[in-house]
């Protein structure tokens, strides 16, 4: 596992009974997490300090229970990057802190390349990977179907002092955008993908990652440049283990591009136990002479 161990403004304080107690700056939140299947004792002196708790509804969705008044949003930092945090109606806060393990990876690969790097960030959410790549010196095309998420990512970019970096903002269906980029002849040295596990399109069509990820990776391979640097696939889908994702990337990319594939879990250190909470999987294709960091 690669834990995101370099945070100062974020921390998992404890986790038990399907919930995790997190520190976001100086705010404490309790959120559900299906990976937490153990029921170790919860210290009331710690857990009762939480400012808010997300409660799931039996009929779907849920709501925040506020124990203390919180601002609508606040900011936290990761290294030189600044992010706006705001609890949403779907338990999320606008940031997946475990992804910092991947931000550090992308940063190292881009800086070590010693040349201009064009990155395509698909399903880019609020822009953590976009900011990390831009801060490392890459030009980035940031694509997400949600206008609100793209606006949020632009806020994060301004907060991080990266507003003048070469970032192209696209609100569009990722698959359709990539198909158009291929027809236009636009190519990228690196592709980052973090597709959702499940969703519905504007016409009610069902998106299920296991059923559609192979075709999507095949499509995105075609948008790589002649001298690509890396291809990263992240997933929170339980059925897609690191080994399955590594085989998928290897089967599509190695016959055409050579190189090699690595895959691992990413996670977050837990203060109370010294263990790491698993939070997802990432597979990474690298050209032969690139070194992961």
The half-sphere exposure of 175 on its side-chain side, counting CA atoms within 13 A, is 12
Alpha carbon distance 182, 88 (integer Å): 35
Show Cβ contacts of residue 84 under 8 Å, excluding neighbours closer than 6 positions.
Answer: 73, 74, 75, 94, 126, 152, 155, 156, 159
Which contacts qualify for 22-27: CB closer than 8 Å, 24 or more apart?
24/74, 24/76, 24/85, 24/93, 25/74, 25/75, 25/76, 25/85, 27/51, 27/52, 27/70, 27/74, 27/85
Q: Token pair 């949403």 is at which residue?
A: 88
Tens digit of pLDDT for each residue in 79-125?
999 999 999 988 999 999 999 999 999 999 999 999 999 999 999 99
Can you read off the two tokens belonging to residue 34?
């299906």
Query: 43: alpha, beta or left, given left = phi > 0 and alpha = psi -120 to 50?
Result: beta
Q: Cα torsion at 147, 148, 154, 157 (round to 10°)?
A: -130
The number of CA neighbours under 13 Å toward the Cβ of 32 is 12
130: how many CB neighbours lie within 10 A of its CB? 32
Number of other CB atoms surrounding residue 277 within 10 Å: 18
**Tokens (6 digits) for 261:** 């594939």
Residue in the structure block whose two tokens are 């690595």: 262
Per-residue pLDDT of the chain (293 residues; tens, 9 = 90+): 999 999 999 999 999 999 999 999 999 999 999 999 999 999 999 999 999 999 988 777 899 999 999 999 999 999 999 999 999 988 999 999 999 999 999 999 999 999 999 999 999 999 999 999 999 999 999 999 999 999 999 999 999 999 999 999 999 999 999 999 999 999 999 999 999 887 665 566 666 788 889 999 999 999 999 999 999 999 998 888 999 999 999 999 999 999 999 999 999 999 999 999 999 999 999 987 666 65
CA distance 45 to 28: 13
pLDDT for 238 = 80
Q: Give the separation between CA 153 and CA 159, rounded to whole angstroms.
A: 10
Residue 26's Cβ-side half-sphere holds a number of Cα atoms within 13 Å equal to 5
Concatenated DSSP letters of 111-150: HHH-S--EEEEES-TT-HHHHHHHHTT-EEEEEES-HHHH
Tokens of 202: 């504007």
Q: Which long-range contacts (CB under 8 A, 24 or more apart) does 242-250 make?
A: 242/281, 242/282, 242/283, 245/281, 245/282, 245/283, 246/283, 248/213, 248/214, 248/217, 248/283, 249/217, 249/283, 249/284, 249/285, 250/285
């Amino acid at each position: 596992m690669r834990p995101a161990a370099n945070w100062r403004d974020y921390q998992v304080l404890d986790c038990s009974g399907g919930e995790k107690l997190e520190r976001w700056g100086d705010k404490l939140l309790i959120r559900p997490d299906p990976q937490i299947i153990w029921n170790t004792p919860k210290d009331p002196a710690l857990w009762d300090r939480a400012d808010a708790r997300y409660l799931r509804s039996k009929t779907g969705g849920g709501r925040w229970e506020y124990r203390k008044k919180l601002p609508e949003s606040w900011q936290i930092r990761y290294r030189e990057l600044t992010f706006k945090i705001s609890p949403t109606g779907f338990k999320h806060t606008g940031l997946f802190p475990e992804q910092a393990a991947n931000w550090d990876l992308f940063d190292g690969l881009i800086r070590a390349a010693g040349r201009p790097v064009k990155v395509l960030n698909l399903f880019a959410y609020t822009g953590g990977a976009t900011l990390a790549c831009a801060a490392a010196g890459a030009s980035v095309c940031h694509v997400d179907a949600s206008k609100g998420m793209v606006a949020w990512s632009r806020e994060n970019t301004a907060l991080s002092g990266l507003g003048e970096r070469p970032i192209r903002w696209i609100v569009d269906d990722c698959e359709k955008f990539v198909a158009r980029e291929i027809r236009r002849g636009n190519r990228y040295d690196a592709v980052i993908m973090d597709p959702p596990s499940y969703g519905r399109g504007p016409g009610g069509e069902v998106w299920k990652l296991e059923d559609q990820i192979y075709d999507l990776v095949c499509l995105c391979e075609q948008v790589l440049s002649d001298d690509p640097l890396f291809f990263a696939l992240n997933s929170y889908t339980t059925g897609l283990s690191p080994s399955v994702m590594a085989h998928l990337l290897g089967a599509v990319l190695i016959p055409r591009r050579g190189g090699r594939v690595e895959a691992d879990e990413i996670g977050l250190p837990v203060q109370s136990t010294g263990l790491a909470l698993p939070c997802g999987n990432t597979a990474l294709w690298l050209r032969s002479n690139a070194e992961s960091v």
